[in-house]
Amino acid sequence: MTKLIKGVKLRLYPNKQQQAQLWQMFGNDRRVWNLMLDMTKQRYQNNPSSHFVNEYGMNYLLKQLKQEYPYLKDSDATSFLVVNHNLVQAFKMLFKHRGGYPRFKSRHAAKQSYTGRSVCIVIAKRRMKLPKLGSIRTSKTSQAVNGKIKRYTVSYGPTGRYYLSLQVETVTPEALPKTGKTVGLDVGIADLAISSDGEKFGTFNAKWLEKQATKWQSKYSHRKYQATVAVRQWNHNHKDVKMDLNDYRNWQRAQKQKARYQQRIANQRQDYLHKLTTALVKKYDVIVIEDLKAKNLQKNHHLA
């Protein structure tokens, strides 16, 4: 029996205490990343001919960091191993000229997350047990019941919601019954696709949500510009007390509002495509689609 790895994303509903714990964990992972990155930079500046500290060397330093910063013990220990692994991979991409130099992480970023390899347990239909957090309320856990959880990621998005992404090892699902039908799909611009049977599949439409997202995107840009000007004027006229862009909450509220509309559009589009593709797979055994990018058609005014 073959096995496969699939991703499962759940919504988290932490209480006040768990929210404080989550932000502590986000900060701890960010702290370890920044400390390791700063150590690597300082090491190279002091001695350019020195060898790069590999993943094993970074993991060896974690014990000393926990003694120097006791609050790091509040996090899942395996999350720091993932941080070191990701940092080493970033440097490997840099050495291969396939990526830029790793950057320091900021606590003001719109998205915060941490990843661990410890054991997560499904304890109820809408309950999971996570390391350091204990029992936490989630959305439906039916997809994660019959599988082995290999890795988990807790994230906080710009919409103000918490999510849990699971990497689950499960058995290959049973094949659908054969229908003996074959279809060809022609991808278009006016219609999403047209089948060889003459059936048309319309494009996804969310005009009102797109209009609201555009409006709040404009408000966000305008408010952020106003806040930037106000910060510069204040810092120029007051040398004793400095202000930061994050001290102004008006543009941040607009950022969250436009992110919510954009998330609703993305969710509805994903739901529409999932339902369409599921219906096609159940109806046909062989589906042939032309190798064509619809976006490139729009660049050619004669075709579009």
- Domain stop point among 126, 149, 174: 174
**Cβ neighbours of residue 99 under 8 Å, at least 6 residues apart?**
90, 93
pLDDT in tens, 30-58: 999 999 999 999 999 998 888 888 999 99
Examine the domain organization and report whether 222 and 248 are in the same domain: yes
Examine the domain organization and report whether 233 and 106 are in the same domain: no
- pLDDT band with cut points at 50, 70 and 90 for residue 196: confident
Which of 263, 304, 73, 21 has the alpha carbon at shortest distance from 161?
263
What's the rounded Cα separation, in Å, for the pair 193 and 300? 19
What's the rounded Cα separation, in Å, for the pair 162 and 43? 37
Alpha helices in the chain (DSSP H): 16-46, 55-68, 77-95, 207-237, 250-283, 294-299
- pLDDT band with cut points at 50, 70 and 90 for residue 188: confident
What's the rounded Cα separation, in Å, for the pair 231 and 43? 36
Examine the domain organization and report whether 189 and 238 are in the same domain: yes
pLDDT in tens, 69-97: 999 999 999 999 999 999 999 999 999 99
**Domain tally, the chain:** 2
- pLDDT band with cut points at 50, 70 and 90 for residue 193: confident
Q: Which domain holds residue 263?
A: 178-304
Examine the domain organization and report whether 170 and 182 are in the same domain: no
Residue 209 is encoded by which pair of tokens? Answer: 């949500």
Examine the domain organization and report whether 46 and 111 are in the same domain: yes
Examine the domain organization and report whether 81 and 190 are in the same domain: no
Q: Are 112 and 24 in contact (CB under 8 A)?
A: no
- Domain stop point among 149, 174, 199: 174
Percentages helix, strand, coil for the chain (3-state, rounded to 5) are: 50, 20, 30
